[in-house]
Amino acid sequence: MVDVNGIRLHIAEAGEGPLVVLLHGFPESWHSWRHQFGPLAAAGFRVVAPDQRGYGGSDRPEDVSSYSILHLVGDVVGLIHALGEESAYVVGHDWGAPVAWHTALLRPDVVRGVAGLSVPPPFRGDRRPLSVMEAMFGGRFYWNYFNLPGVADAELARDPRTTLRKALYAASGDGPEAGTGRQPLVEPGQGWLETMPDPGQLPAWLTEADLDSLTESFAGSFTGALNWYRNIDRNWELTAAWHGAVVSPPALYVYGDKDLVAAFPGTSQLIEQLPELMPSLRRAPVVLEGCGHWTQQERPAEVNAALIPFLMNLRDLRDLRDRKERAEAE
Residue 181, Ramachandran bin (φ over 0: left; ψ between -120 and 50: alpha; else beta): left
Rounded CA-CA distance 119/270 in Å is: 11
Q: Which amino acid is at 9?
A: L
- Asked if residue 110 lies in contact with residue 87, where contact means CB atoms within 8 angstroms, the answer is yes
Active site residue 259: no
Q: What is the largest CA-CA distance in the chain?
A: 72
Long-range contact pairs involving 179-186 (C-beta distance under 8 Å, separation at least 24): 179/257, 179/258, 181/263, 182/260, 182/263, 183/137, 183/141, 183/260, 183/263, 183/264, 183/265, 184/141, 184/142, 184/260, 185/137, 185/140, 185/141, 185/142, 186/140, 186/141, 186/142, 186/145
Give 1's DSSP letter. Answer: -
Active site residue 63: no
Rounded CA-CA distance 189/321 in Å is: 59
C-alpha pair distances (Å), 248 with each of 83, 90, 104, 121, 282? 24, 13, 7, 11, 11
The DSSP element (H or E) to which 290 belongs, if any, is: none
3-state secondary structure 119-130: CCCCCCCCCCHH
Give 229's DSSP letter. Answer: H
Q: Is the peptide bond before 129 cis (omega within 30 degrees of 0)?
A: no
| Active-site residue identified among 51, 94, 174, 259 | 94
In 3-state terms, what secondary structure has residue 113? strand
C-alpha pair distances (Å), 279 with each of 102, 111, 181? 16, 16, 28
Catalytic residues, by residue number, are 94, 293
